[in-house]
Amino acid sequence: MKKIVSGIKPTGSLTLGNYLGAIKQFVKLQEERKEDEFYLFIADLHAITTRQTPHELRNRTLDIAAMYIASGLDKDRTTMFIQSEVLQHAELGYILQSNVYMGELERMTQYKDKVAKGEESIASSLFTYPALMAADILLYDADYVPVGDDQKQHLELTRDIANRFNHYYNDFFTVPEPIIPEVGARIMDLQDPYKKMSKSSDNPKGYITMFDEENMIKKKIRSAKTDSLGVIKYDPINQTGLANLLNIYASATDTNVEEIVLKYKVSNYKTFKEDLGQVLVDLLIPIQERYQDLIKSDSLQEILNQGRDRASDYAFKKMRKCKRKVGLGRK
């Protein structure tokens, strides 16, 4: 039995990128790996590395929980919880800060991007964020961590931290492996296909959220940037926007890009985009309907209570052993 752990940060609305790169993969893995255990959380401690409005943060945290279940996760096979409700994340995060070097944190692209943008007042927790992320994973002895491509570097650092800790204190943490999907790992912005689709983008036409209505979804796909070549083929260098749309199509329909190209070879961008819009509507609208039922229900609260208790149980034992290893507190 393997353990699979992952999380999503409740900043901004969930996007199609989060869904195709992460949530859809969790559901797929759960269907494929009947023997394995799933720990999925909402990373609210990570969200406050940038300033959040308290009631919005709390609403978005619940939104993600409801979306996980609405997307098809089996609640009976998932330990789903809110990160800040399991105290040991912050505790282990601090210990791991003492096992990661400034130089390593300085090399993280997410941090470097923020600095490059010239943002002032960057919180120190944004810098130490990867240590907390490592804690999220190592606390549960995760074997696998399904994530999109942008989290690969954080996963590599998590592995380095685990190996370093294991070397110094004798084997203690499981060294996790990332699971990155073949298609859908990097969904790009619809208006600027050179940058990742992100909930923090300034231009809402560039991303589809999990809450967009039918007409909005279709409109955003219709106005997605393509090129003037007018031929449907997969050429990420010269037809970057179209390549992104082909990836979205393939990922949303569980096919591969070649099949989609073949299907639309003699077609045109307009028809392709209309069809893709419909594919996404068919995918997202049923999820939204299930979400609406869940968000108001007591069952979501129960799932989160249960998840918190189960995760805390494991985390408490792991931390007790960890502190003993490190020499903290009394025996």
Residues belonging to the active site:
114, 196, 199
Q: How far is the CB of 317 from ligand TYM (least distance, A)?
A: 20
Cα separation, 241 vs 233, whole angstroms: 11
* Nearest residue to 28 via CA among 142, 146, 185: 146
Other C-beta atoms closer than 10 Å to the C-beta of 2 total 14
Is 46 a binder of ligand TYM (CB under 6 A)? yes
Other C-beta atoms closer than 10 Å to the C-beta of 91 total 17
Q: How far is the CB of 319 from ligand TYM (least distance, A)?
A: 17
| Amino acid at the residue 114 | K
Q: CB under 6 A: which stretch of 18-26, 165-173, 262-270, 282-290 binds ligand TYM?
A: 18-26
Buried b vs exposed e over 123-159: b needs ≥16 C-beta within 10 Å?
Answer: eeebbbbbbbbbbbbbbbbbbbbbbbebbeebbebbb
* Nearest residue to 57 via CA among 10, 126, 124: 10
| Token pair belonging to 11 | 């900043």
Task: Determine the size of the site formed for ligand TYM (CB under 6 A).
Answer: 24
Q: Pick from 66, 185, 246, 276: which binds ligand TYM (CB under 6 A)?
A: 185
Is 7 a binder of ligand TYM (CB under 6 A)? yes
Strand partners of residue 24: none
Is 277 a binder of ligand TYM (CB under 6 A)? no
> Is-contact 191 206, C-beta < 8 A?
yes
Q: Pick from 4, 8, 82, 300: which binds ligand TYM (CB under 6 A)?
A: 8
Q: How far is the CB of 83 from ligand TYM (least distance, A)?
A: 7
Is 244 a binder of ligand TYM (CB under 6 A)? no
Is 220 a binder of ligand TYM (CB under 6 A)? no
Q: Taking the mean position of all CA atoms in its chain, how far away is CA 89? A: 18
x/- letters, 140..179, toward ligand TYM (CB under 6 A): -----x-xx-xx----------------------------
Is 196 a binder of ligand TYM (CB under 6 A)? yes
Is 283 a binder of ligand TYM (CB under 6 A)? no
Q: Pick from 4, 82, 137, 276: which binds ligand TYM (CB under 6 A)?
A: 137
> Is-contact 213 273, C-beta < 8 A?
no
Give the footprint of ligand TYM on this chain (CB under 6 A). 6-9, 17-18, 20-22, 43, 46, 133, 136-137, 145, 147-148, 150-151, 185-187, 196-197
